[in-house]
Structure 1
Amino acid sequence: MKLSGLKSVENAHDDSIWACAWVPATENRPALLLTGSLDESVRLWRADGLEPFLPSPSTGHCLGVVSVAAHPSGAVAASASLDSFVRVFDVDSNATIGTLEAPPSEVWGMQFDPKGAMLAVAGGSSGAVKLWDTSTFELLATLPVTPPNQQDQQPPPRPASKGSTPGGKFALSVAWSADGRRLACGSMDGTIAVFDVARGKLLHQLDGHFMPVRSLVYSPMDSRVLFSASDDAHVHIYDAEGKSLVGAMAGHASWVLSVDASPDGGAVATGSSDRTVKLWDIKMRAAVQTMGTHGDPVWGVAFRPPGGAGVRAGRLASVSDDRSISLYDYS
């Protein structure tokens, strides 16, 4: 497995880029890269040349964008901002479909479920995951990340920013299993809550990190396998059903801010505040390549999903505080 640099776009946004996600291909167009920035805008980019897909960025927020997510249909996407709103919009027209409101500091990482019926949002200082119905945009459920027998023992949550590391149950990141049966949520205290979605039940907590869990992703090939990225500079591999830590991978010199799994399930990529992107071989449980294309912390990495006419080569994108986007060939 190998990454090869294809293209970088400098000044892709007017401020730090904190989020990226791939919008799946549709019958009418190939996959697109979605990015969100502190400049309050969301932009869409064509898959190989990184040319702007729309003539102007989306500016539906009044504060920085901290998370973006794409619906599995490829037709709809969402952006979450420090203004405490989630904007759901039509990808091709940029028309707003729905606006979800939350109290301050309660909108962070988010992801659509594999069928596209729900949007899971890490609820920040609420200490819970919010599940929204994507057909009605009504709140379906609020899932606390603290076990019921521990809820009275938790200290009150403290305010947080993207780069801060407060304690307490501050829900920061979410990931759906490939079969849609499980939802994981990473917290500022280093724990990961795993939910049975159908029953709305917290199954158990995964331990092992001792600093914030910034990013999570399930293996696309095995719904038991969960990868996590943490400020403790480690990437963990969990058996999320067996409640066990399978492996810990070290190599970054600082916080690991983002993790994503390759479509073939054989690798993960990470972005770090050490300004690098690393490619990790899952079988070897080691970094096999380090890319130094960015000059500042790398807040997001994302593999392009398979599918689309004529698409064969794998792609990985990364975004950074340096306002740039980098695109790599993955083979």
Structure 2
Amino acid sequence: MKLAGLKSVDSAHDDSIWAAAWVPATDERPSLLLTGSLDETIRLWRPDDLSPAAPPAAGHSLGVVSLAAHPAGVVAASASLDSFVRVFDVGSGASIATLEAPPSEVWGMQFDPKGTILAVAGGGSASVKLWDTSSWQLISSLAVPRPEASRPSDRTGSGKFVLSVAWSPDGKRLACGSMDGTIAVFDVARAKFLHHLEGHYMPVRSMVYSPVDPRVLFTACDDSHVHMYDAEGKSLVGAMSGHASWVLSIDASPDGSAVATGSSDRTVRLWDIGMRASVQTMTNHSDQVWGVAFRPPGGTGVRAGRLASVSDDKSVSLYDFS
């Protein structure tokens, strides 16, 4: 497996770019790349040459820190430091719904595989909120419990700050990562907390389940490590190291053979899951890499894999993944 740089766009936004997500292909168009920035805008890019696919979309009063695309490829959601989630039509940019997320900003969100629920990591609310995507009504709020063996430093309550969420590929489980390094796993149908996954002691900023195995969860943490868990068996299967600083983002390739990570050490790394090791390092960004995203499968005439990365350096990079 290998990454090859295809295209980079400098000054893609007017400020740091903290979020990236692929909008799946539809019958009418190929998949598109969404980026969100501290400049308060969302931009849409074509998948091969990173040319703009639409004018920049505004709608937030503070920086955009998270993006999620509906699996049908028609709708997407953006979350901002203004404590609102904006749901919009990808084609027109028109707002469909505005979801309030008090008492604090949203740092991570993801649609479930069927597209019926949007899970929103509620920051300081110590919960994950589940929104019904047909009515945009709040259907559940999953409280993230504190681990039984809380460390003394957690008594301030900061440990319950929720940063990241990930759906299992079968939609049955939802994992969420917190500021204190703990990961909580929920049974979504029963709205029931199942267990914690241990091993990290710093913020878990990004997580992704293997697309081919609903038991396997990959996590990215400020401790500079990438962990691979058996999320059902509650066990740490592998700990991968290589980054020199915080790991800010992680995504899994569609075939489940690799994960990519972005770090505050300014690099993007590709990891071979079979070898449990970093096999390639890309160094085209000049500042922290806040987002990495593999293009989902599907679309007419699509043969090559794609990976996108976004950074504090205001650039977007696109790589061929083979």
| TM-score of Structure 1 vs Structure 2, range by shorter chain | over 0.9
Structure 1 residue ranges (4+ consecutive) displaced by more than 4 angstroms after TM superposition:
147-151
Q: Distance in 2 between matches of 1:9 and 1:51?
A: 9
Matched, 1:47 2:47: yes
Q: Would the aligned equivalents of 2:147 and 2:196 in 1 still touch at CA under 8 Å?
A: no
Matched, 1:249 2:240: yes
The aligned runs of 1:117-128 (5 Å cut-off) are 117-128=116-127
Q: Which residue of 2 aligns with 1:223?
A: 214
Taking the aligned partners of 1:213 and 1:147, their CA distance within structure 2 comes to: 15
Structure 1: give runs of 5+ residues left out of the alignment: 158-166
- Structure 2 distance, partners of 1:148, 1:34, is 35
- Residues of 2 paired with 1:302 and 1:271: CA distance? 10
Task: Report the Cα offset of residue 155 of structure 1.
Answer: 3.0
The whole-number CA distance in structure 1 between the counterparts of 2:125 and 2:101 is 10
Give distance in 1, aligned partners of 2:148 and 2:198: 17
Instruction: Quote the Cα distance in structure 1 between the aligned partners of 2:6 and 2:267.
Output: 16
Deviation at 1:102, TM superposition (A): 1.7
Assess if the C-alpha contact under 8 Å between 1:183 and 1:197 holds in 2. Answer: yes
Q: CA deviation at 1:116?
A: 0.4
Give the match for residue 14 of structure 2. 14
Query: What secondary structure sits across from 1:57 in the alignment?
Result: coil
Residue pair 1:147, 1:202 contacting (<8 A) in 2 also: no
User: Taking structure 1 as the reference length, what is the TM-score of the superposition?
Assistant: 0.95
Residue aligning to 2:25: 25
Partner of 1:36: 36
Determine helix, strand or coil for the equivalent of 2:131.
strand
Q: Provide TM-score, normalisation by structure 2.
A: 0.97
| Residue-by-residue CA offset, 1:56-86 (whole Å, 9 max, x unaligned) | 2111000000100000000000000000000
Distance 2:301 2:105 in 1: 41
1:269–1:277 contact (8 Å) kept in structure 2: yes
The whole-number CA distance in structure 2 between the counterparts of 1:316 and 1:282 is 17
| CA distance in 2 between partners of 1:272 and 1:205 (Å) | 25
Letter in 2 for 1:211: M
Aligned counterpart, 1:258: 249
Alignment of 1:166-245 (within 5 A): 167-245=158-236
Residue 297 of structure 1 corresponds to 288
Check conservation: 1:257, 1:270, Cα contact below 8 A: yes
Q: Does 1:111 align with 2:102?
A: no
Paired with 2:292 and 2:148, the residues of 1 have a C-alpha distance of 36
- The alignment's C-alpha RMSD in Å is 1.4
**3-state SS of 2:254 partner:** coil
Gaps of 5+ in 2: none
- In the alignment of these two chains, the number of paired residues is 320
Specify which of 274, 280, 283 is matched with residue 283 of structure 1.
274
Cα distance in 2 for residues equivalent to 1:146 and 1:228: 19
